[in-house]
Amino acid sequence: MVDFGGWDMPVQYPAGTIEEHLRTRTHAGLFDVSHMGEIDVSGSDAIAFVNRLTSNDVTKLVDGQAQYSALTTPSGTVIDDLLVYRFAADHLLLVVNAGTTDKDWEWIQSHHSGESVELRNASAEYCQIALQGPDAESILQPLTDVPLSEIKYYHFRPGTVDGVSGIVSRTGYTGEDGFEVYAAADRAEQLWNKLLEAGKAGTPTGVLPCGLAARNTLRLEAGMALYGHEINEETTLLEANLGWICKLDKGDFIGREALAQQKEAGIKRRLVGFEVTERGIARDDQDVLVHDEKVGRVTSGSPAPFLKKNIGMAYVPVEYASAGQDIRIDVRGKLVGAQIVKTPFYKRTK
Amino acid sequence: MANVPEDLHYSKDHEWVRVDGNEAIIGITDYAQDSLGDVVYVELPKAGDEFGASESFGSVESVKAVSEIFTPVSGVVSKLNESLADEPEKVNSDPYGEGWMVRLRLANPGEVDSLLTAAEYEDFTKAESE
């Protein structure tokens, strides 16, 4: 067990990271992600308020839809990335990272100015269990009254799972199809055990409980950013390839001006994916070199169990950011060759 | 419970040593491979490299972490287990057999006596995991 944002969490379960990762790609993996924070925003100005604090366009959401977005600083860097769930025009739920929940909560409260909203840090009230993988729908359907085939990607429905009321959301952090179930915190164990049972855990093709290490390798293969690694208060959304959640034309929001200026002027560095082409494994925080000169830093580096390659993401100057560019990684004093590639590294076949 | 063969010598860095004449075969223990998880990469020295006792001679990597490996005794590398380049998982499946790492020509055979016995190593790992 390791401390993760104040939560004791398993790095891996007995099957081990590789098996957990592969099973999620081929059948199903179960993740206890109850550590995620939830901030409830209600009131007639809920949409306007959240729209002013986040970069994506909240007005585009319909009831039952979720959106990937970011809380931004005035300079366009990232306080946190998050999901915005719309229950109703006057009710949103923000799902944020565990390690940043307290910071986000303070930021959100301190930027409330006059809007008619009620804010509640509801993190302790919720558990969140993610069932991910191609078998997720067939495992979950018999346990829920929600018609899962009707829920589109990044949509959700209220309903019950094993008699427990909550919401079922077609979202995830693995690059696979799958669901995230939110319910009352004290029902976590019941849902966890029921989903393991329904997913025939313990059989060769059954669901496997997955730890933090597999969650990280799965999201990395899928080319998704992890807060504190690819994005933080030093990186802007544009540098992080998150221009698609920067709706500069939606009206004013915190950081809009800086992002518009940066877009106009052009970014100097960009987040890229790379594959190691020689023997060695790149790891977080190692230096990236081009022509023997240090030009950047690895934000995440790891073996990719499904792709059977060693991959990573890094910030490099834009002149070196094109696919095909050869780079080298300083792996504990040894320079190891790598090449910039397009992300995502892994894309599921639908 | 981790397997700790009687006839080997052990270091507090979780390496084992099997003495074979004036040479020593070195690997990591069952306890070490179990704590590391799936081994995906093993970095070893070259034949002819010389190491003092407790010097780092390479590394073992799992998906999540890198761990340095140390020579429990001093000597010159006479042979490496080159098969670990393609099959690092042998470190997990057979840590005392096919998962061996290097063979050293012992510089000072007496050093072996300062290592832990199987019983001492077992006590040491019990204390460490408590």
- Assign residue A281 the CATH number of its domain: 2.40.30.110
CA distance A19 to A17: 6
A258 and A279 in one domain? no
Distance in Å, alpha carbon of B64 to nearest chain A alpha carbon: 6
User: Does some domain include residue A346?
Assistant: no
ipTM, two decimals: 0.86
Q: CA of B62: which chain A residue's CA is closest?
A: A303
Question: Greatest CA separation found in chain B?
Answer: 40
What does the block give as tokens for A75?
Answer: 């300079």
Full residue range of the structural domain in which residue A299 is found: 268-341
Tell whether A83 and A148 lie within a shared domain: yes
Question: What is the spatial distance between Cα A114 and Cα A200, in angstroms, rounded to a whole number?
Answer: 52
**Of B37, B43, B85, which is closest to A16 when you measure between CB atoms?**
B37
A251 in a structural domain: yes
Per-residue pLDDT of chain A (350 residues; tens, 9 = 90+): 788 888 888 999 999 999 999 999 999 999 999 999 999 999 999 999 999 999 999 999 999 999 999 999 999 999 999 999 999 999 999 999 999 999 999 999 999 989 999 999 999 999 999 999 999 999 999 999 999 999 999 999 999 999 999 999 999 999 999 999 999 999 999 999 999 999 999 999 999 999 999 999 999 999 999 999 999 999 999 999 999 999 999 999 999 999 999 999 999 999 999 999 999 999 999 999 999 999 999 999 999 999 999 999 999 999 999 999 999 999 999 999 999 999 999 999 87
Residue A277 lies in a domain: yes
Q: Six-digit token pair at A167?
A: 């919401």
In this structure, the answer to whether residues A292 and A235 fall within a common structural domain is: no
CA A124 to chain centre: 20
- Which domain-ending residue is among A220, A238, A262? A262
End residue of a domain, out of A227, A262, A297: A262
pLDDT recorded at residue A1 = 73
How distant is the Cα of A59 from the closest Cα of chain B, in angstroms? 40
**In sequence order, what are the residues at sequence separation of 6 or more whose Cβ sits closer than 8 angstroms to the Cβ of residue B41?**
A279, A280, A281, A303, B59, B60, B61, B88
Q: Strand pairing partners for A127?
A: A183
CATH number at residue A232: 3.30.1360.120
Is the same domain home to A160 and A238? yes
Closest to B109 (Cα-Cα) out of B5, B9, B7? B9
Q: Tell whether A51 and A35 lie within a shared domain.
A: yes
Same domain flag for A234 and A94: yes
Amino acid sitting at position B11:
S
A350 belongs to a structural domain: no
User: What are the boundaries of each domain within chain B?
Assistant: 17-109
User: What is the C-alpha separation between A285 and A300, in angstroms, rounded?
Assistant: 7
Could you tell me where the DSSP H helices lie in chain B?
A: 30-36, 90-93, 118-129
Q: What fold, for B17-109?
A: OB fold (Dihydrolipoamide Acetyltransferase, E2P) (2.40.50)
| B63/A17 Cβ within 8 A | yes
B37/A contact by beta carbon, under 8 A:
yes
Task: State the pLDDT at residue B102.
Answer: 97
Picking from B38, B66, B85, the nearest residue to A16 by CB comes out as B38
DSSP string, A289-303: EETTEEEEEEEEEEE
Structural domain ending residue among the three candidates A262, A296, A314 = A262
The tally of domains found in chain A comes to: 2
Residues of A in contact with B66 (CB under 8 A): 281, 283, 332
- Strand locations in A36-190 (E): 37-42, 65-72, 78-88, 91-96, 118-121, 126-132, 156-161, 164-169, 178-184
